[in-house]
Amino acid sequence: MDAVSDPTVETIELEITAALASLREAFLPRFRAAATAQALRDENAKILGKKGELTAILKLLGKAPPEGRKAIGEKVNALKQEVESGFESCLSNLRLREREAELSAPPFDLTLPARVPAQVGHKHPISIVREEVVAVFRQLGFAVFDGPEVEHEGNNFTALGFPPDHPATDMQDSFWTQSNHVLRTHTSNIQVRAMKSIAPPMAFIAPGTVYRRDDDATHSPMFHQIEAFLVDKDVTLAHLKGVLAEFAERLFGPGTPVRLRPSYFPFVEPGAEVDIGCVFCKQPNGTRAGCSLCKHTGFIEVLGCGMIHPVVFENCGIDPEVFSGFALGMGLERLAMLRYGVPNIKLMFDNDPRFLAQF
Ligand code: DAH
């Protein structure tokens, strides 16, 4: 029997054509009736989805004998494309309308209080200690000077009297960037920058981030320092000691003893390390019993200092016969660890909220 005259093919073809025709008429009004993008998607799924109406029509095709399928299949596919492009254009219309509604609606009031009390952030222990130290020096009349963290070796080493073979200038101890530049290994570079740009007298502090190739329980490759320096006529070691005594009292409490131990730094002469009375074993009567943290000496080292070396003055264009001055530098992590009894410097940088919430 001829395939064209096969009643089954004809019946199925008629059935499919009728179904396609009614779907063609219905789909656009249905899409247009959808009020939201989600409603539109749902409607689209009812037609094109796995169990959708057009999919059902497509399944009828399987019942037609092979020779009739191609023509019917083309009709089904043509409608499918119409439905798809109808869906896309309705969707973009809807989005446009939603956006317009959003833009013309009254704006959100960002000043309204939150329904749930938000967790308020707080300062990092290093920031707390930095602000305290800065405040003490400001009370004493020091201004704040800032400078770059990538520094020319001249300002970080040479002008400060570091001999070329000093270990700090070695690749193993400092981070060198492009040639002749280092991530500054201390804030003492600020002394050089200030003295080269400002005529004495001057009294500055310089808080900042510094970098060294050190990494253990008490050293981090990145840490923070505060430098302080004062240049004027007739500045003596007594002025330095006076400032240190004031600093120790204001930061660690009245009566905190200070002692200087001779030490070497290339940019000062004489140079000293400064100890303060141990904050951990201090008794109510002001004496110190000695503890493991101060190695039973009653004193703890907090900073380095000294009288600015004549060579440093000369390197910065200041006459050492006319002017004198002192400088000191301290590590903020160390101060914060002493202050709060933190045993490992890594805790300062892990940013564990359980640690930070304690300050
Ligand atoms: N720059 C020294 C360091 O990083 C600290 C220091 C020592 C600074 C003595 C000074 C000073 O100004 O006089 O270890």
Cα(210) to ligand 1 centroid in Å equals 12
Cα dihedral 196, 197, 199, 202 in deg (nearest 10): -90
CA distance 225 to 188: 9
Quick check: CB of 160 below 6 Å from ligand 1?
A: no
Atom of ligand 1 nearest to the CA of 305: 13
Cα(188) to ligand 1 centroid in Å equals 6
Q: Which CA distances in Å does 187 have to 94, 98, 143, 283?
A: 60, 56, 15, 35
Q: What is the pLDDT averaged over residues 172-190?
A: 92
Q: What is the pLDDT averaged over residues 60-72?
A: 79
Q: Reply yes or no on whether the pLDDT at 289 is more than 70.
A: yes
Looking up tokens 């798809």, which residue turns up?
84
Q: Is the dihedral of CA 231, 236, 237, 241 positive or negative?
A: negative
Residue 5 DSSP class: T
Quick check: CB of 332 below 6 Å from ligand 1?
A: no
Q: What is the pLDDT averaged over residues 133-141?
A: 97
Quick check: CB of 302 below 6 Å from ligand 1?
A: no
Quick check: CB of 202 below 6 Å from ligand 1?
A: no
pLDDT over 90 percentage in the chain: 64
Q: What is the pLDDT averaged over residues 92-96?
A: 93
For residue 308, count other CB atoms closer than 10 A to its CB: 26
Segments in the chain forming alpha helices (H) = 7-33, 37-48, 53-60, 66-104, 125-139, 153-156, 189-197, 237-252, 310-315, 332-340, 346-350, 353-356
Atom 7, ligand 1: residue with shortest CA distance: 304
Quick check: CB of 64 below 6 Å from ligand 1?
A: no
Contacts of 142 (CB under 8 A, 6+ apart): 203, 204, 205, 228, 230
- Among 166, 188, 267, residue to substitute to test ligand 1 (most atoms within 8 Å of Cβ): 188
Cβ distance 122 to 358 under 8 Å? no
Q: What is the pLDDT averaged over residues 50-71?
A: 83
The pTM score is 0.69
Cα dihedral 331, 337, 340, 344 in deg (nearest 10): 160
Q: Is the dihedral of CA 267, 270, 271, 274 positive or negative?
A: negative
Q: What is the pLDDT averaged over residues 54-58?
A: 88
Quick check: CB of 207 below 6 Å from ligand 1?
A: no
Cβ distance 193 to 290 under 8 Å? no
Atom 2, ligand 1: residue with shortest CA distance: 329
CA distance 132 to 359: 14
Q: What is the pLDDT averaged over residues 59-77?
A: 81
Atom 13, ligand 1: residue with shortest CA distance: 305
75: exposed, middle or buried (Cβ count in 10 Å: 0-12, 13-18, 19+): middle
Cα(289) to ligand 1 centroid in Å equals 30
Domain map of the chain by residue range? 7-104, 125-356
Per-residue pLDDT, 9: 66
Q: Reply yes or no on whether the pLDDT at 53 is more than 60.
A: yes
Per-residue confidence band for 280, with pLDDT thresholds at 50, 70 and 90: confident
Residue 150: which H helix or E strand, with range? Answer: strand 150-152
Q: Which CA distances in Å does 215 have to 150, 204, 211, 344?
A: 20, 30, 11, 11
Per-residue pLDDT, 300: 92
Q: pLDDT tens digits, residue range 220-265?
A: 899 999 999 999 999 999 999 999 999 999 998 899 999 999 999 9
Per-residue pLDDT, 167: 83
Quick check: CB of 328 below 6 Å from ligand 1?
A: yes
Pairing of strands 143-144, 202-211: parallel
Atom 4, ligand 1: residue with shortest CA distance: 186
Looking up tokens 């005259």, which residue turns up?
5
Quick check: CB of 304 below 6 Å from ligand 1?
A: yes
Per-residue confidence band for 69, with pLDDT thresholds at 50, 70 and 90: confident
Buried-state track 7-46, b at ≥16 Cβ within 10 A, e below 16: eebeebbeebeebbeebeeebeebbeebeeeeebeebbee
Atom 12, ligand 1: residue with shortest CA distance: 328
Cβ distance 76 to 19 under 8 Å? no
Per-residue pLDDT, 6: 54
Per-residue confidence band for 2, with pLDDT thresholds at 50, 70 and 90: very low
**The domain 125-356 is classified under which CATH number: 3.50.50.60, 3.30.930.10, 3.40.50.300, 3.90.1520.10?**
3.30.930.10
More confident residue, 156 or 214: 156
* Phi/psi at 166 (5° precision): -65, 135
Cβ distance 183 to 177 under 8 Å? yes
Q: Reply yes or no on whether the pLDDT at 133 is more than 80.
A: yes
Cα(161) to ligand 1 centroid in Å equals 12
Quick check: CB of 329 below 6 Å from ligand 1?
A: yes
Quick check: CB of 68 below 6 Å from ligand 1?
A: no
Q: Which CA distances in Å does 5 have to 2, 174, 344?
A: 6, 93, 92
Q: Which CA distances in Å does 9 have to 100, 277, 322?
A: 51, 104, 114
Q: Reply yes or no on whether the pLDDT at 339 is more than 90.
A: no
Q: What is the pLDDT averaged over residues 336-351?
A: 86
